[in-house]
A and B are shown apart, each in its own frame.
Chain A
Amino acid sequence: MRDFAALFTALDQSTRTSVKVSALAEYFETASEPDRLWTIAILSGRRPKRTVTTTLLRAWAAEKAGIPLWLFEEAYPVVGDLAETIALVLPEGDKSSNRSLSEWIDIIRSLSAVEEGDRKRAIFEAWDSLGQTERLVFNKLITGGFRVGVSQKLMTRALSQATGVDEAELAHRLMGDWSPDTVTFENLVLTRDPEADLSKPYPFYLAYALEEDPGALGALKDWQAEWKWDGIRGQVILRGGQYFVWSRGEELMTDRFPELSVLKDFLPEGVVLDGELLAWDHEAEAPLPFNDLQKRIGRKTVPKKLLQEAPVVLLAYDLLEKDGNDLRGQPMAERRAALETLAKSVPEHVPLKVAPVLQAGDWHGLAAQREASREARAEGLMLKRLSSPYLSGRKKGDWWKWKVDPLTFDAVMIYAQAGHGRRATLFTDYTFAVWHDETLVPVTKAYSGLTDAEFKEITSWVKKNTIDRFGPVRSVPGELVFEIAFEGIAESPRHKSGVALRFPRMVRWRRDKPAAEADTLEGLRALL
């Protein structure tokens, strides 16, 4: 654990990417094979299964620290991280463990089989034998959520440096459904064996937001324009008589979309499609609001009624594999043509559609279509260079998202709550209300969009103006007005206001506006 804790410290102690990458690369060069494998797993979000509940952990930490549980619970939101809170309250420990990272993980995993008393003894023993940072790492392994300022991309880059395997190739190998129990470092990282994992998706190519005038992109004829849909980006894989659905967040979602299983009856073997999963209104030939899709995402198995109310389709916009061959190196235009040919053979009732390409004479014409995005139930446009290959990860140059400006309204802050993690000492999470019958009705929460200086100022205001406290939430007088941007609005019986907003965030603090001049619920509903 010592070397992994040292790595953790090195990653934690620098804000410079180059330092982080070289610390990781050095670790990958020297660590034992099981440790390397587990490190890759942890830094790509594959943590060991939780074997101790956080409720028990809190109680045991308080006991070990000799403090009442309520005091521990008061300290936790201030620290903002459970693993760290535990490490901070435990009695001073300056030991260091000879056990390796993977040995500790084995110990943690073995706890699921033992009874509670032994589990507690094992945890206490672990705390006793570990140093300060090692304890934090150990606690994080138990509680999960290993966020150390290292993205998967950075980790992949470091691993590429350490092994000499090409970064994009490595990104592909690290995708999909694997765990340190099912692979070795050798066959995950070093040797290519695509047959080994039929479900393995390709790394998604992600677009950057277009900030400048699209004219700067050159001639329109070199570009393909599509709607930017508001669904779930997904890859559908048809291999070996099976089908797999992956979300962009690398979550295997096959079981959530049973209607897509018919694809394998109509499409040939060895096909990978990239597209948008959308709840579809078959009558209007348009997507249903995101809220309807949300109902589907939340459920691992789907009741029949929901399947009928919110049927899902794949709106495909790219073909990454055909006949088992990787097409990503081919130009967009050729992949698109192959996609259209492939889709032609699919009958109407199959939930696969090809995302339409928008036609325009020039950028102005396209800009005019973009203005109509909301009517098309889209968020704006996607621009893809016709000659571009399918890259992995977020790369500038060939794919752009050109979203419409968000909708905005002015709302009054009525509750404030402290943030988590790096914002644990600031009030950053606010509830906003709009006027309805002379009272303020809460409509949404938002917690991003302001500067640190503004958050600091508002924090001080909240402290001086607290009316009431409900646990961590402070109620404040309805005085401060903020402009809230959002991407969409839908009816929602679950919300007091009757509406739910999509992607709400603060655009700015309207110091110039008195609360009385904030917007009304009726005004907001008019946007429905």
Chain B
Amino acid sequence: MPTAKLGSMDGVLRYTDRGIYCPAGDFFIDPWRPVERALITHAHADHARAGMGHYLATEGTAPVMRHRLGEIDLETIRYGERRVINDVTISFHPAGHVPGSAQIRVEHRGEVWIVSGDYKVEADGLSEAFEPVPCHTFISECTFGLPVFRWASQDKVATEINDWWTANRAEGRVSMLGAYALGKAQRLLCMLEAGNAPILTHGAVEATNDVLRNTGIDLPDTIPVTPETDLKAYPGALVIAPPSALGSAWAKRFGPVSNGFASGWMRLRGVRRRRAMDRGFVVSDHADWDGLNRAIKATGAERVFVTHGYTSVFRRWLESQGYDAGIVETEFSGDATAETDEV
């Protein structure tokens, strides 16, 4: 049985220039270059890319992938369902990142590896809650793998956002909330106090809302903004839009606004100031420092590979905690200053 060398990944799974590869099963997980068979953890653009011969993803992930990637050869799988690919048993387990997101368990000759994809451990009331799965080797993201990143409870942040909205409404301002279209936007929708005032959505957000509503997810009522929308009819509204729309020509239509942005990066004053936001709300779909440590411990894994984020620091930390730890490079590898899109 192949075992991984310390520090370099070469066992049940292996790192290649196209992504994480399983030699025994002949498939890739979240590859970034065209391959024949791809297992996809979730539908965010840096994990689910175009050009694969054949895709396998959860039932919750598939509709968004079809929406984003168009006609693709895509097979679905239920959480916990086991399938055998060549000699390898695979199953998908909730990662709590966005609706449909999964960790992928790969078992070959009794050795179990898990690719976490992106995950968070706090239940957000929207995504299927993170499920710890025992394994020998855990490949963990560490986007926020520094002890300065710790999230307050969702309830507490919900109160902050709703108070901000109420104060803006009293001042005759529109609340413009920047959030990524898949996952974060819908999670925020569920955190808003219904009945405060109408919730408007940017087209990119509403398109994803539609896809998720069609999968049976219950989202609050929203009013999509179109060129014809009479904005005066919705004073004090809250608008959810992709971050790039904030401060754009599109946003000018709304008159006086207060800009807010929901992201784990808002934990840092410097980042918030650089974005010139009035308010930053610390809401992340990734695990915080405590969440990463808790999740890793819960797997019982002895060996951990880290990817996506502060990899070298987090690896050193894990080693100091007694793990065998290594780094999986990704195509857009980087540590200290990673500020990827969907956080």
Interface residues of A (CB under 8 A from B): 12-16, 65, 67-68, 70-72, 74-75, 77-81, 84-85, 88-89, 92, 149, 418, 420-427, 452, 459-460, 463-464, 472
Main secondary structure of the interface of A (DSSP, over half): helix
Do B337 and A80 touch across chains, with their CB atoms under 8 A apart? no
Give which listed residue, A16, A75, A423, contacts B270 with CB less than 8 A: A423
B70 on the interface (CB 8 Å rule)? no
Task: State how many angstroms separate the Cβ of B10 from the closest Cβ of chain A.
Answer: 23
Contact A423/B274 with A79-B268, A81-B269, A460-B332 known, Cβ cut-off 8 Å: yes
Docked Cα-Cα span, A12 to B273, in Å, equals 9
Q: Which of B147, B269, B336 touches A77 (beta carbons < 8 Å)?
A: B336
Which listed segment binds A: B23-31, B112-120, B227-235, B275-283? Answer: B275-283
A464 touches B274 (CB 8 A): no
- Cβ–Cβ contact A459 & B337, under 8 A: yes
CB of A114, distance to nearest CB on chain B (Å):
29
Chain B residues, Cβ within 8 Å of A472: 336
Indicate if the CB atoms of A463 and B146 lie closer than 8 Å.
Answer: no
Asked if A425 contacts B278 (CB within 8 A), the reply is: no
Residue in B147, B333, B334, B338 whose beta carbon sits within 8 Å of that of A75 in the complex: B147
Give the residue of B149, B332, B339 whose beta carbon is less than 8 angstroms from that of A425.
Answer: B339
Quick check: A422 and B271 within 8 Å, CB to CB? yes
Q: Could you list 27 examples of A-B contacts with CB < 8 Å?
A: A13-B278, A15-B276, A71-B313, A75-B147, A75-B313, A78-B148, A78-B336, A78-B337, A79-B148, A80-B270, A81-B270, A84-B270, A421-B273, A422-B269, A422-B271, A423-B274, A425-B265, A425-B268, A425-B270, A425-B336, A425-B339, A427-B337, A460-B334, A463-B332, A463-B338, A464-B333, A472-B336
CB < 8 Å: which of B274, B320, B332 contacts A422? B274
Task: List residues of chain A with CB within 8 A of the CB of B268.
Answer: 78-80, 84, 424-425
Chain B contact-residue range equals 20 to 34
Chain B residues engaging chain A, CB cutoff 8 angstroms: 146-150, 265, 267-271, 273-274, 276-279, 310, 313, 316-317, 320, 332-334, 336-339
- CB of B337 within 8 A of CB of A426, answer yes
Is there contact, CB below 8 Å, between B147 and A89? yes
Task: Find out whether the CB atom of A425 lies under 8 angstroms from the CB atom of B271.
Answer: yes
Decide if A464 touches B332 in the complex (CB within 8 Å): yes
What's the Cα separation between A77 and B337 when bound, in Å?
A: 10
Residues of chain B lying within 8 A (CB to CB) of residue A426: 274, 337, 339
The minimal Cβ–Cβ distance linking A30 to chain B, given in whole angstroms, is 20
Contacts of A78 in B (CB 8 A): 146, 148, 268, 310, 336-337
Cβ-neighbour of B278 out of A14, A70, A452 (below 8 A): A14
Contacts A75-B313, A80-B268 known; list 20 others, CB within 8 Å: A14-B278, A15-B276, A70-B316, A74-B313, A75-B146, A78-B148, A78-B310, A80-B270, A81-B269, A84-B270, A88-B267, A149-B273, A418-B336, A421-B270, A424-B268, A424-B337, A425-B265, A425-B337, A460-B332, A463-B338
- B290 smallest CB distance to A (angstroms): 10
A88–B271 Cα distance when bound, in Å, is: 14
Q: Is the CB of B269 within 8 A of A71?
A: no
- B273, A422: Cβ atoms closer than 8 Å: yes
Chain A residues, CB < 8 A from B320: 68
Residues of B within 8 A of A420 (CB): 270
How many Å lie between the Cα of A92 and that of B151 in the bound state? Answer: 10
CB nearest neighbor in B for A86: B148
Once bound together, how far apart are the Cα atoms of A423 and B317, in whole Å?
Answer: 25
Q: Is the CB of A65 within 8 A of B274?
A: no
Q: Report how far A149 CA is from B269 CA in the complex, Å.
A: 11
Most A CB within 10 A of own CB, among B149, B265, B269, B334: B269
Which residues of chain B are within 8 angstroms of A149 by Cβ–Cβ distance?
273
User: Which of A70, A74, A420, A460 is packed against the most chain B CB atoms within 10 Å?
Assistant: A74
Taking the nearest CB of chain A, how far is it from the CB of B91, in angstroms? 34
The interface residues of chain B lying within 8 Å CB-to-CB of A84 are 268-270
- Set of chain A residues within 8 Å of B278, measured between Cβ atoms: 13-16
- Least CB separation from A76: chain B residue: B148
* CB closest chain-A residue, reference B148: A88
Q: Contact check: which of A65, A421, A452 meets B147 at CB < 8 Å?
A: A65
Cβ contacts under 8 Å, B271 to chain A: 422, 424-425
Contact check, A89 vs B269: say whether CB atoms are below 8 A apart.
no
B337/A463 in contact, CB under 8 A: yes
A439 to B225, CA, bound (A): 57
Inter-chain CA distance A459–B149, complex, in Å, is 22
User: Chain A contacts of B338 at CB under 8 A?
Assistant: 425, 463
Chain B residues lying within 8 Å of A72, measured Cβ to Cβ, are 147
10 nearest A-B residue pairs (beta carbon): A463-B334, A88-B148, A422-B274, A422-B273, A422-B270, A424-B270, A74-B313, A75-B146, A425-B337, A421-B270
